Chain A
Amino acid sequence: MSAYLIKGVSPLGAAPTDLLIRDGVVAEAGSGLSAAGATVVDADGLVALPGLVDLHTHLREPGREDAETVESGSRAAALGGYTAVCAMANTSPVADTAGVVEQVWRLGREAGLVDVQPVGAVTVGLAGERLAELGAMADSAARVRIFSDDGHCVADPRLMRRALEYVKAFDGIIAQHAEEPRLTEGAQMHEGEVSTRLGLTGWPAVAEEAIIARDVLLAEHVGSRLHVCHVSTAGSVEVLRHAKARGVRVTAEVTPHHLLLTDVRAETYDPVYKVNPPLRTDGDVAALRAALADGVIDVIATDHAPHAVEDKECEWAYARPGMLGLETALSIALEVLGPRWDLIAERMSRTPARIAGLESHGVDPAPGAPANLTLVDPAARRVVEPGELASLSRNTPYAGMTLPGRVVATFLRGEATVLDGKAVR
């Protein structure tokens, strides 16, 4: 195993110190450390964070290896400062059996750049009709704990109730893509002034809020854990605030793009801005930012959704929804939250690790902690250039934008996955 001596790093923005990483853990912390044989990393001016954990990643393998593979997505994740990602189930075949989740898990181990934790489908084929073998996935080598039909809503209330109840047996959690399907038939973008002007079918905020309201009541009724994927509206925030005040065991995530971009982006008709749920309004963005700061929203999750060029270089209505996110999420968190390192660690590492049950992640870099961490240069600014991203796809909505912060190094169980801002392999 390698050893690294990180010199002069600022853990979560605190006073600079040295960190010695050896045998997969943070072995020592203090000033003036030395260690024979250790690779020295000059971290002057850098901030150390616990390795980021993404609850919501689409790696596309198996099925769409032209858009992303477990390996390319893992590389993108490491470059973004992540040490663990939860791979969504909407692959082809769908990750609705122990066999498929074990395949994804194994591919993640082989790539070795982040821990790839598969998410299992709630229903067979994401069809929303009957439960997939949730227990088999939980008992598999992949040890699945998060189940989601993401991309589709578990719309049937009885099925949702059963899923929430069933996974209690193995401390599972249902991550809901909250989208009332009848209210969003043919929907292309947020329903509002811009959709009216553009003649694109609207995706009303109430279609998200109604499902979240129902699901928090169901979760309360059966005493289960619920996680809400990609919350996008001010009204959803209020529903969640109310539920949390009542003690419902609900957590929620917001994506970087819903914290930064609004529906006016659609005016170009460039489907790089097409995403589900859609980009909303300034008022929604403000509410999401406030909820992220005050804890009503627990987590920033990327919803990294790579798509091949031909699935985006077309008419808006025919394009697939989704955006890249792994390599820009931390920069957008910095843009939105500022250098509030403890809050960033909480929203992007500790809490998502806790929700996903990833015990070796989300631990602050201190002696004895697993050496899953990332080093960030907060002073750097960079222009997002799609061609430079490690993802196989190019559908970033931030092309040409200047964003703060740069990931300089990432360590997974004590081994560098990124050094000098470059993936080690």
Chain B
Amino acid sequence: MKRLRYFIGLVIVGIIFWLIFKYQFISLLEWQSRLLERAFFVLLVCGIFCLFRIGLGPTPADRAVAIDILGILVLGFCAILGIPTGRDWYIDIGIAWALQSFISTLALAKYLEGRNFDE
């Protein structure tokens, strides 16, 4: 039973990667930009896994963990977007998002601990 589940999961991950690396979604000419587009879709799959954990998680703490990880992944998105365009304000958005995510995670942890915010 366990082996069967592992095999099904392996097949699903294989199909996702096959789809990502077979099709070219946006037509870009340079090979580096095409590789970076694939990188963008791999990060998108990671984000979808986090969304699954937010939906499935049995306790509120699991959802808080997934939200924290999603906040770090957004920084990766901004970095990947910054490479082909060469604009430096994408990473500014990333820094601001990571700061907000860190503070909100601390607030969520304090809420889980059962304390108020003025302690």
* A pairs with B: no
